[in-house]
Chain A
Amino acid sequence: GQQLNQSPQSMFIQEGEDVSMNCTSSSIFNTWLWYKQDPGEGPVLLIALYKAGELTSNGRLTAQFGITRKDSFLNISASIPSDVGIYFCAGFDNYGQNFVFGPGTRLSVLP
């Protein structure tokens, strides 16, 4: 089946640093999404990308939909302690109407 890979698997950064993580796929998706999951909670949508090449920002977060439609990246600028959590990318398959999630990147922010 379709699979998404995320890198890095985990990262430890100092508060105030910028963060970059990416997501790659073996197949094409028409929509890319980035979610954040806090401990003990369900994922919450951060950014949705609908067009190849699209670059979208949401506050300190910026995400891009790769030109090949097989990858996406998420950047977080000036990290703060509440950025801690697991970040998931997800692709939406218009044909099957189902969502495919990556395994997640666990972010830790050190004060």
Chain B
Amino acid sequence: EAQVTQNPRYLITVTGKKLTVTCSQNMNHEYMSWYRQDPGLGLRQIYYSMNVEVTDKGDVPEGYKVSRKEKRNFPLILESPSPNQTSLYFCASSFDGTAYEQYFGPGTRLTVT
């Protein structure tokens, strides 16, 4: 089954404790992306990747890092989480940057206290 998986689905952590949210897709997609969703703001793109070893900042990259060492995986790293990063995070993938049908993962709800 074609899908995007994210782990963990829920995470509660404390300020400053490094964490990684994993994202994996099994569709051989080139384009992958991370979004955060906050009430009233919709989805805002954090980082995206056009292909392996190619990443670029979206609209809200501050406080986040990503890497794309393999085509299928695109982890989101918070080196020193802060409470304003409490949010619902979605990973998405599409065939390439010009194929607009993005497949979204189920979401990761992160709370930073």
Residues in chain A within 8 A of chain B (CB atoms): 1-2, 4, 6, 31, 33, 40-45, 48, 88, 90, 92, 94, 97-104
Contact = CB atoms under 8 A, between A and B. Distances in A.
Given A42-B90, A45-B100, A45-B101, A97 B41 contact: no
Given A42-B90, A42-B92, A99 B40 contact: no
Interface of B: 4, 33, 35, 40-45, 48, 50, 56, 58-59, 90, 92, 97-98, 100-102, 104-107
A9 B104 CA distance: 23
Contacts, number: 59
Contacts of A1: 59
Contacts of A92: 100
A104 to B, nearest CB: 5
